[in-house]
Amino acid sequence: MNSVGKNIKRVDAYDKVNGKAIYPQDIYFEDMLYGETLRSNKPHAYIELDISEAKKIEGVIKIFTAKDVPYNHHGVVFKDNEVFCDKKVRRIGDPIAFVVATNKEIAKKALKTINVKYKEIEAVFDPIKAIKENSPKVHDNDTNIVHHFKLRNGDVEKSFEDCDVIVENEYVVPQADHAFLQPESGVAKTDEKGKITLYTATQYPHFDVCEIAQALQIDQKQVKIINCAVGGAFGGREDITMQIHLSLAAKVLKRPIKTTYSREESFIAHSKRHSMIMKYKTGATKDGKLKALKATIIGDTGAYASWAINVLRKAGVHATGPYEIENVCVDSYAVYTNNPFSGAMRGFGATQVPIAYEQQMDIIANKLNIDPIEFRLKNIFKKGSKTATNQILKESVPLEKCINEVKKNMDFSKKGCGIGIMFYGTGYGNGFPDVSNARAKINQDGKVEIYIGATEVGQGAKTIMSQIGAEVLKINVEDIIFVNEDTEITPDSGTAAASRQTYNSGNAVKIACEKLKDEINKKYDINNCNLKDVYKNIDKELLIKQGSFKAYSTMMDEETGIGEPYWPYTFGACGVEVDVDEETGEIKILNAVVAQDVGKAINPHLIEGQIDGGFAMGVGYTLMEDLNVVNGEIKNNRLSKYIIPTSLDTIDFKKIIVEDEESSAPFGAKGIGEPVMVYVAPAILNAIYSASGIRVKKLPATPDNIIKNIKAKNENLSFDKIKYL
């Protein structure tokens, strides 16, 4: 092939390195105003607002509150967020008012003069307590349980009776922040007809248009989003933050309005990865065959639901890991608390559960005196395997190859080596319509324009889809003009999440370009023609083609969880070697090997970049990242406190791309943006045990927590008796 499988430079690379890329922070308009958001400093309280003094400040143009919003609600699944809190706040950081002034300094000064009377209500910060009947209710409902996912297959209790070894443990993972480099920023303005244009950086601009139009009670055609360069996302730009605030202000004031969050405000404004408490009971026979698994997963979604239903469902589906287990009982709960709200973040529920199931695998293997890798190979998914939801894996299941590649490239007989494996379901899941649309057209100059709403958030979507289009039409990638920034001229292609863009939107691009190719081939040979001549000699309307692709997924049974929720699945394995300093508690990563199933590598270098990034993020999640949320307040709310890996904390390691083409995918390619993080944490944790004999069941494994674990081991104390944080 000419383009697919080649290490073609990113099509957006030069603009990003030479400073030409336009981020929302870079945009200024004449006569522009500035907005600042007043946020709650209480986690749970009734409020009364007095803005009279702030309105008197010279330079304050208007202060927007709940009464200014026609429909004061938004949310990706439930409309449980208020644009501005009216009578009650549910978390620290809830927006209460939006001050618009002639400059930022005046707007910030006005914030300090707004009088908010708080009547505090009892808050709940522990999801276990939040489930109880007598707990404070975050949304004044009968219960704080947002969703309960159930997976039932086989007879679990009876199967445990037939097990020779049973392992029960509880694992706890905290909230985590996306820590993208570019904080939220946006500019909104209106034209002479009142149409709103919002310049921002988001993961799903077409959905943001819907949210804005609904809140302002206007036609969606009256809203346009220009999605500027996006400085990282990882799921943190899927929920509304400032979009409605800016659009409302621009509509009312008919002047451009700009807002850019500080790093501290960014931390409290956007969602977090769900913290989870995971109780696992796993059983196997003495010959090393997994027999039964029972898991209860409690996910803290904080004050708002966001994607909680989907995240906890995905956690439940993936709770078994990539293992054949006939008897399974899983309950996963999404629970409201007054903590910062949780939403989408890289891995989307499939990141948390391997920390439990992969440590369970090592513990069982050790009890049976079986090599942990051989134990895995005896139980893993292969072609033809059945998942816990009774989904048959018919093709592209190269997990055994991934494991063997890692085994071949790391000496697991050495002390301090551990392995983690995973599977990951692509797409929205559970039968939800997962559709991508694209449009391709030939220009007068012989170049091909591709229009699609697929967001480039740093993952390389523009490049991958340009390569797909170029391959179909037998042209150079340089002859593809990729347009994805403007919601008015691009078709909806879904969110840049769920590792779906290469698979879904790549398919839509391929279909549109194949239609163009078929049209061209009626008069020419696509392999030997000049597209300038094609443009001259074929009706121009015939040189514009639409492509649409819908991913396969079925809805699961509500009582049993049986169904085919995702497709395709991606697989991978990671080996890590660590050194544990038992005096300081410091964990040093010495070596690593990653073998990642990609279906087909469209651009190998971009895949290697994703693996590097996923590994670094996994290291941070496991060893460093601590928001230190105390009574709903994020104490580590800046990058000087919220520690993430730097270049000094990462290592060069071996990256192995495993190809096993998926027939429903564009040229066989699967998305890998999220999977490359999922196996990192369990590999590190299993390596820590190999090095020190301590089993870390609560993240992050910071030095002080490692020392506490070592103390527990040395004094032969139960882990439950040690207070980790």
DSSP assignment of 366-379? HHTT--HHHHHHHH
Query: 157, exposed or middle or buried, with CB in 10 Å at 0-12, 13-18, 19+?
Result: exposed
Instruction: Tell me the C-alpha distance between 28 and 671, whole Å.
Output: 36
Tell me the one-letter amino acid at 353.
V
Q: Could you tell me what percent of the chain has a pLDDT over 70?
A: 99
Q: Which helix or strand (DSSP H or E) is residue 656 part of?
A: strand 654-659
Radius of gyration of the chain (CA): 26
pLDDT of 715 above 90 = no
- Alpha carbon 540 to its chain centroid, in Å, reads 40
Structural contact between residues 310 and 285, judged by C-beta atoms closer than 8 angstroms: no
Looking at residue 723, its pLDDT comes to 35
Tell me the one-letter amino acid at 124.
V
Q: Which helix or strand (DSSP H or E) is residue 88 part of?
A: strand 88-89
Would you tell me the crossing angle of helices 680-692 and 703-714 to the nearest 10 degrees? Answer: 40
When pLDDT is cut at 50, 70 and 90, the band that residue 712 belongs to is: confident
Per residue in 493-527, pLDDT (tens digit) is 999 999 999 999 999 999 999 999 999 999 999 99
Per residue in 566-609, pLDDT (tens digit) is 999 999 999 999 999 999 999 999 999 999 999 999 999 999 99
- Give the global pTM: 0.96
Q: Which helix or strand (DSSP H or E) is residue 293 part of?
A: strand 290-302
Looking at residue 717, its pLDDT comes to 53
| DSSP label at residue 126 | -
Paired tokens of 310: 């989907």
When pLDDT is cut at 50, 70 and 90, the band that residue 648 belongs to is: confident
Within 10 A of 617 (CB to CB), how many other CB atoms are there? 25
Instruction: Read off the pLDDT of each residue in 332-339 and give the average, rounded to a whole number.
Output: 98
Unique residue bearing structure tokens 């039932």: 152
Looking at residue 406, its pLDDT comes to 98
When pLDDT is cut at 50, 70 and 90, the band that residue 720 belongs to is: very low
Structural contact between residues 322 and 379, judged by C-beta atoms closer than 8 angstroms: no
Three-state SS annotation for 575-628: EEEEEECCCCCCEEEEEEEEEEEEECCCCHHHHHHHHHHHHHHHHHHHHCCCCC
Per DSSP, the three-state class of 690 is: helix
The candidate with the shortest Cα–Cα distance to 621, out of 644, 605, 603, 601, is 644
Per residue in 624-634, pLDDT (tens digit) is 999 999 999 99
pLDDT of 724 above 60 = no
Per residue in 200-238, pLDDT (tens digit) is 999 999 999 999 999 999 999 999 999 999 999 999 999
pLDDT of 721 above 80 = no
Looking at residue 719, its pLDDT comes to 41
Instruction: Tell me the C-alpha distance between 246 and 227, whole Å.
Output: 15
How far apart, in Å, are the Cα atoms of 702 and each of 580, 621, 639?
A: 11, 10, 17
Three-state SS annotation for 135-181: CCCCCCCCCCEEEEEEEEECCHHHHHHCCCEEEEEEEEECCECCCCC
Instruction: Tell me the C-alpha distance between 130 and 415, whole Å.
Output: 42
Instruction: Tell me the C-alpha distance between 302 and 313, whole Å.
Output: 17
Per residue in 387-398, pLDDT (tens digit) is 999 999 999 999
When pLDDT is cut at 50, 70 and 90, the band that residue 320 belongs to is: very high
Per residue in 96-123, pLDDT (tens digit) is 999 999 999 999 999 999 999 999 999 9
Tell me the one-letter amino acid at 221.
K
Looking at residue 122, its pLDDT comes to 98
**E-assigned strand segments in 426-561:** 435-442, 448-452, 480-483, 544-550
Tell me the one-letter amino acid at 362.
D
CB environment 120-154: b (16+ within 10 A), e (fewer)? ebebbbebeebbeeebbbbeeeeebebbbbebbbe
Query: What mean pLDDT, rounded, does the chain reach?
Result: 96
Task: Return the biggest CA–CA distance within the chain.
Answer: 84
Q: Which helix or strand (DSSP H or E) is residue 515 part of?
A: helix 506-521
Q: Which helix or strand (DSSP H or E) is residue 467 part of?
A: helix 461-473
